[in-house]
Amino acid sequence: MASMSCSLQDQMAADAEKWRKIVGRHNFVEIDLAQLVSRWHTDADLGRPIEVVTDMSKSRKLGFLDY
């Protein structure tokens, strides 16, 4: 599995000013982008070297109803 070349944390590092402009334009309540999203947590979830089960819908349709 290939590693991430650029994390969300890195990509959004300079986006605070962009977010302030969006908030002002659309009258949103949240001003601090860091409170709105957890970039490090998203990086941890999406950057795992192993696959994880995040949706059991198909398994339930196939009859696997116990946890």
Answer yes or no: is 26 within a domain: yes
Query: How many structural domains compose the chain?
Result: 1
Nearest to 36 by CA among 16, 56, 17: 16
Answer yes or no: is 63 within a domain: no
Over the stretch 19-30, which tens digit does the pLDDT of each residue have? 889 999 999 887
Residues 36 and 18: their CA atoms lie apart, in Å, by 14
Answer yes or no: is 28 within a domain: yes
In this model, does residue 63 exceed pLDDT 80? Answer: yes
pLDDT of residue 1: 45
In this model, does residue 50 exceed pLDDT 70? Answer: yes
pLDDT of residue 8: 80
Answer yes or no: is 65 within a domain: no
- Structural domain of 20: 8-50
Over the stretch 51-61, which tens digit does the pLDDT of each residue have? 777 788 888 89
Answer yes or no: is 55 within a domain: no
Answer yes or no: is 24 within a domain: yes
Tokens of residue 2, six digits: 């290939």
Write down the pTM of the prediction. 0.48
